[in-house]
Amino acid sequence: MFIKDMFKKDKTVISVEVFPPKRDDDVEKLYQTIEELKVIKPDFVSVTYGAGGSTRDKTVDIASKIKNKIGIEVMAHLTCVNSTKEEIGNVITQLKNNNIQNILALRGDPPQGQTNFTKTIGGFGHANELVAYIRSRNEEWSIGVAGYPEGHIESPSLEEDIKNLKRKVDSGADFIVSQLYYDNNDFFKFLDLTRKAGINVPIIPGIFPILNFNTIKKITSLCGAKIPKNLLEKLEKYQDNSEETEKIGIEYAINQTLELIENKIEGIHFYSMNKSKATITIYNSIKDKIKRI
């Protein structure tokens, strides 16, 4: 099913993101996690591409099994990193041959060890170019793109970043999935600015429950997201207490999600980090507040 069609129904679209494990023996653990996540009836599972396209083949394989064997709709990530147009076209063909209908089109982060993105000769330098290429193939796809409530870390301003986002939508994107963030005011401001800019496709906020202090400090430093002062102080106080950190992180995510639902957000995207417990706990705390079919 095309994700774009999910938003035409009177429901809250629930999605979960996973990543291809580096070790082959962890792939089966991932499938077990996805089986566990069936309890929340996700509308789709998003499968990332890996830094520098390093897990390209695993992304296709994992997305295919989730869709065709486990029975949950999927969205496969696709990036411009280290890939020519021909190589990207080959991946798209593989996705199509595996009955995958949804793509998240991304420029992608620079490969490990590099600080700046460098366009591959014969490839694409921006996500809007990738979206346009997918559309040019005369095939039917539902295409998502990334949005950044606090602005992309490389962008000089949020307003400039929204101009880039509009280019992606104007090139053919059907919906937007947001980067992780922790202040809903940032998301509501972002939503207001995008609508004023003429971006009218569905925008799904990304929820990343904090389960480990050091992990979230690293992730936010890389993507430029900020942690609100009151939350940061709590996390710092219990940074050596994993149980308390997890409790604080999940409780915060529940409250963050409830506020979004109260404001009639069209969907919620959970960054699972290949674990089921936090996502299920959050979902069980909000399920009576959302519309599902």
Residue positions annotated with a catalytic role: 17
CB 135 within 8 A of CB 172: yes
CA distances from 172 to 130, 195, 225 (A): 10, 17, 27
Residue type, 156: P
CA distances from 105 to 100, 130, 275 (A): 14, 6, 24
Write the burial class of residue 8 (CB in 10 Å: 0-12 exposed, 13-18 middle, 19+ buried). exposed
Q: How many residues does the chain have?
A: 293
Identify the helix (H) or strand (E) that includes residue 272.
none
Coil, strand or helix: which one is 132? helix
CB 92 within 8 A of CB 137: yes
Between CA 21 and CA 26, with CA 23 as vertex, the angle to 5 degrees is: 65
